[in-house]
Amino acid sequence: MIQLFADLGHLIFPNLCIACENELSRSEKHLCAFCESDLTYTNFHHFDNEATPVDKLFWGRIALTATYSHVFFEKNKASQNILFNLKYKNKPQLGVYFGTKIGATIAQMDKFQNVDAFIPIPLHPKKAFIRGYNQSEMIAKGICEAVNKKMDTSTIRRTHHTETQTKKSRFQRWDNVNEKFKISDKVLNYNHVVLVDDVITTGSTIESVAVALRKKNPSLSISVVTLAVA
Ligand SMILES: [Zn+2]
């Protein structure tokens, strides 16, 4: 009888893949088998003490305790679709879903054992208002559910919009980005925080947030977790 209701429910409310929106079979959960197999996992958690490409990206820029990115961002593949849907297609549950996956992975990593808080990179308030949610916060939410830790959305505040940054050099860009984040004294209560973002490209946003955090709390350990790395 319960199965009959489940089947009826499936007919009336079909479960759709959160990435491609094709109908899921009963054995599939959230993500269809095609999208799942189309993802390239980084396996950074198997690097042990070897530096990952994300570690190397920050060398000479900012000292980080640990980094983890879940998948490689690849054009015309599921990862691109997932990031697009998460950002622009009102799919906050995509972030939470991958957050729980990420949480389960970093729970096995020694470097992520003593974390005080997971802090999503804030969106500008105007953008968050238009989108209805901050995709990085959704990822952090899933992580915190999986590892049973605290999410902090009040320590970092994004202030004003800055002019478009695409035509500037990296040095100029850094100065420009750095003005956008205000750090609360709350950061003085922490020894180790993890910054959470949807995707790493140049790393300049992470870098400027980390610099701003250290200005307030010079001995703070900072780690970085993202859903994807470009
Ligand atoms: Zn799919």
**What is the Å distance from ligand 1's center to 103 Cα?**
22
**What is the Å distance from ligand 1's center to 5 Cα?**
25
Residues 58, 170 share a domain: yes
**What is the Å distance from ligand 1's center to 181 Cα?**
36
Which two structure tokens, joined as six digits, stand for 14?
Answer: 């079909």
Q: Which residues surround ligand 1, an ion (CB under 5 A)?
A: 17, 19-20, 32, 35
Residue 94 to residue 68: CA distance in whole angstroms = 18
User: Into how many domains does the chain fold?
Assistant: 2
Which two structure tokens, joined as six digits, stand for 156?
Answer: 């970092």
Q: Which of 173, 222, 164, 229 is nearest to 198 (CA)?
A: 229
Residues 17, 72 share a domain: no
* pLDDT per residue as tens digits for the range 7-39: 555 555 678 998 888 999 989 988 999 999 999
CATH number for the domain that contains residue 133: 3.40.50
**What is the Å distance from ligand 1's center to 31 Cα?**
5
**What is the Å distance from ligand 1's center to 30 Cα?**
8
Residues 139, 33 share a domain: no
**What is the Å distance from ligand 1's center to 71 Cα?**
16
Highest mean pLDDT (candidates 88-92, 119-123, 130-134): 119-123
Residues 174, 69 share a domain: yes
**What is the Å distance from ligand 1's center to 28 Cα?**
10
DSSP 35-92: HHHT--B--GGG-TTSPPHHHHHHTTT---S-EEEEEE--TTSHHHHHHHHHHHSS-H
**What is the Å distance from ligand 1's center to 92 Cα?**
16
Full domain range(s) for residue 198: 39-229
Residues 194, 151 share a domain: yes
**What is the Å distance from ligand 1's center to 57 Cα?**
31
**What is the Å distance from ligand 1's center to 108 Cα?**
27
What global pTM score does this model have?
Answer: 0.86
Residues 19, 57 share a domain: no
**Looking at residue 128, what is its pLDDT?**
81
Residues 205, 122 share a domain: yes
Residues 61, 26 share a domain: no
* pLDDT per residue as tens digits for the range 150-169: 999 999 998 865 545 555 55
